[in-house]
Amino acid sequence: MSGVSLRGIQKRYGQTEIIRGIDLEIADGEFMVFVGPSGCGKSTLLRMIAGLEDITAGELLIGGRRANDIRPADRGVAMVFQSYALYPHMTVAENMGFALRMAGVGKAERETQVGRAAEVLRLSHLLPRYPKELSGGQRQRVAIGRAIVRKPQVFLFDEPLSNLDASLRVDMRIELSRLHAELGTTMIYVTHDQVEAMTLGHRIALFNQGLIEQCGAPLELYQRPSGAFTAGFLGTPRINLISRPQDDASTALKALWAACVPQEQRLVCQIGLRPEHIGVCAHRSDAAQAAIELVEQLGDCAILHLRVAGLDDLLRARLDTRDAQALGDLSPGRALSLEPDAAKTLRFGEQGRLLPDA
């Protein structure tokens, strides 16, 4: 087992800079998640660690050893991709043992190793089957099994669950957490699914255009985002980002701002208000007013999409179902008053950086 160090890592294709200087220490046994919008460079960086892409500048260490020029097969890493690409003419057992056979490992030893990996992945009963006889989730487990038998020091996953349906993804997420607890191997996991990022990672590295925007424990990023980009990326429904109202802004918008920033602070350029931190009541004359545009009933809670005069985006508020029901009529156009939680409001200054609590 071993950690991974990225020091000043850069990637250019011709003149185009894709990875613009990454410094990151991934501890031995850590579960690190790379997350970020499409095209920000997550897969590129993962492929650089795997040795599938050259490193333009900087240093990569795996287990304390400089790995920039080590051949992919000798880096001690195993990668699992989104498309599992199993050999269709081989059984599950043969697929899983393929790398060992190529490496000249004998039949008995192969069977032992494959058997052990199959047990960990609860695939033992499927070993004689062919890929076409498996469900999507089972195929992806075989692909992970193929990686496990190689006994890598580091697992690299590139969106391994994105081809699976919603409920299978949840199951596989739990399987992966269990697998990590059992193997204790360093894992680097790329996803753009924020629920996967929040639930799987010891730490999350959030990427933005080839740079790490913020890296830390999932709750740290959620509760103390370094800036508006992080705040806007994590959380469903998305956080409400509201810019300081101009002097000629609507009464509602000014009232909303004043409720969130009670002592006027000139440094605050923008606020972030999580949907769960907006209370709504029937009518309070001193509060900001809003009108219902749409209500999504999710069973345990309701998401209210509210029109606030002068605000371009709809405001998203999340209420417990019972609180939503207590409001009575929730049809479009109904006027409501907003009660944001000022203490939970995130305040951003210049360049969208988080300001310390007032």
Ligand X SMILES: Nc1ncnc2c1ncn2[C@@H]1O[C@H](COP(=O)(O)OP(=O)(O)OP(=O)(O)O)[C@@H](O)[C@H]1O
Label the pairing between strands 270-273 and 240-243.
antiparallel
- Options 2, 5, 43, 185; binder of ligand X; rule CB under 6 A: 43
With CB under 6 A as the contact rule, the residue among 2, 22, 32, 41 that binds ligand X is 41
Who's near 294: CB < 8 A, 6+ residues apart? 304, 305, 314, 332
Nearer to Mg ion, 210 or 275 (CB): 210
What is the DSSP secondary structure assignment for residue 227, as one 8-state letter?
Answer: B
Answer whether 2's CB lies under 8 Å from 76's CB.
yes
- Euclidean distance between CA atoms 143 and 82, whole angstroms: 10
Spatial neighbors of 133 by CB under 8 A, at least 6 apart, are: none
CB of 10 to ligand X, least distance (A): 13
Please report how close the Cβ of residue 190 comes to ligand X at its closest, in angstroms: 6
Among 13, 52, 223, 326, binds ligand X (CB under 6 A): 13
The nearer residue to ligand X, 45 or 143, going by C-beta atoms, is: 45
Of the candidates 40, 126, 268, 338, which one interacts with ligand X according to CB under 6 A? 40
CA distances to 111, 140, 189 from 162, rounded to whole Å, are: 30, 10, 12
Positions touching Mg ion (CB under 5 A) are 43
Q: Which residues contact 34 (CB under 8 A, 6 or more apart)?
A: 42, 45, 46, 188, 189, 190, 191, 205, 207
Decide if residue 38 touches ligand X (CB under 6 A).
yes
Give the nearer residue to ligand X in terms of CB position, either 17 or 323.
Answer: 17
Residue 191 CB, shortest distance to Mg ion, in Å, is: 9
Instruction: Write down the least CB distance from residue 82 to ligand X, Å.
Output: 8
Member of 5, 44, 113, 186 binding ligand X (CB under 6 A)? 44
Angle at 120 between CA 115 and CA 125, to 5 degrees: 55
18 binds, among ligand X, Mg ion, none (CB under 5 to 8 A by kind): ligand X
Minimum Å gap between C-beta 251 and Mg ion is: 46
Which DSSP string corresponds to 239-287?
PEEEEPPPTT--HHHHHHHHHHSSS--TT--EEEE-GGGEEEES--TTS
Neighbour tally for 344: CB within 10 Å: 14
43 vs 185, which CB is nearer to Mg ion?
Answer: 43
Determine which residue in the list 7, 116, 150, 192 makes contact with ligand X, applying CB under 6 A: 192
Q: Near ligand X by CB under 6 A, which window of 11-19, 104-112, 225-233, 303-311? A: 11-19
**Contact 45/19 with Cβ under 8 angstroms?**
yes
186 binds, among Mg ion, ligand X, none (CB under 5 to 8 A by kind): none
Q: Is 167 in the site for ligand X (CB under 6 A)?
A: no
The one-letter code for the residue type at 272 is G
| Distance in Å, CB of 79 to Mg ion, minimum | 12
Contact between 9 and ligand X by CB under 6 A: the answer reads: no
In degrees and rounded to multiples of 5, residue 214 shows phi and psi of -160, 145
Residue 274: CB minimum distance to ligand X, A:
25
Biggest CA–CA distance in the chain, Å, is 80
Shortest distance, position 237 Cβ to ligand X, whole Å: 21
> What residues make contact with ligand X under the rule CB under 6 A?
13, 16, 18, 36, 38-44, 192
